Chains A and B, each alone.
Chain A
Amino acid sequence: MLHVDVRRRLGAFQLDVSFSVDAHAILAVHGPSGSGKTTLINLLAGLDRPDSGRIVVDGRVLFDSKSGVDVKPEKRRVGYVFQDCRLFPHMTVASNLRYGRRRGERDIDFEQVVSLLDLQALLRRRPRFLSGGEKQRVAIGRALLSSPRILLMDEPLASIDPGRKSEILPFVRLLRDAFALPIVYVSHAADEIAQVAERAIRIENGRIAAADPVRSSADQAYTETGMRLIAVIEAHDSVSGLSVLGSPLGQLYVPRRFEPPGTVLQVTLGASAVEPVAEVVSGAISVLPARMITGTRT
């Protein structure tokens, strides 16, 4: 759980935002460059200081101008994945990963992170021998292994060519599920946000211009209305970043899973994820035949 209400003036620019993120949710922050996205997460990480306001993570006050609380960045337990990765050039990947290691109440297992992010083959290399996508995965792993209470990601895909984005994107959702971390994901790319986030806020000129649920608050929809069905993983497509599931209703396309093909999954189809289409469209969209039985107005 994250509550933010901060103001920060930098020259003529004024940032003034307030929002909350549930635990286990990914909040996308988007907006034009120079709108204050990076400033905002620097404030959360403690690398910059708000002029006034309040920041609370998991009930712990990190900053409060009224009571004079300002926890140092090294004490905030905020995992920060920087746009430019910032891997330490004089250390191997393994040393980079272990750098922020600490034994906390929510200890994150080294081997688990390594296998999740597929880093085994990279451990002994130095950052300059890594591709952009590999660096980014190491940066994510390093932030995770410091056992953070919240993860901040600043345009993690900005320096990666489009074909490689599918290398990272599925991981982000996986992180939320595997480690129950709230994630603030800064991006200006609409397709990334749609693939990754439950909610999005749009910042323009330092203010929240729009706050909209990307998947109509998927978590909520899942619990309220929808259907459950059993599906089997048929194939993975690493190019599109999708997995194909076989279900009694037909083939379903979902963000890439990491279980091997053949694994049986329980799938929840949120009511809001179902969208009627007039005719069959091509592309990676799951289209199921359906017939309207009743309609209810609310």
Chain B
Amino acid sequence: MAIIINLDVMMAKRKMSLNQLSAAVGISLSNLSILKTGKAKAIRFSTLESICEALDCQPGDLLAYQFSSDDE
């Protein structure tokens, strides 16, 4: 997928574990794991908002577009 999730990078920067983030955001560990491993198909604005609030970052810090040859 061309959109990559940099959740693990931001968590490392904020020195936050998955358990701590799960407790702060109110999303189950399994769903956060799906998001972290890039298996998620979509993300709700409300979820993005909660994660940004918990990690004190911008959506652009969590999401990035990776150019791939398939997109041509």
Q: Do A and B bind each other?
A: no
Residues in B lying within 8 Å of A, measured CB to CB: none
Residues in A lying within 8 Å of B, measured CB to CB: none
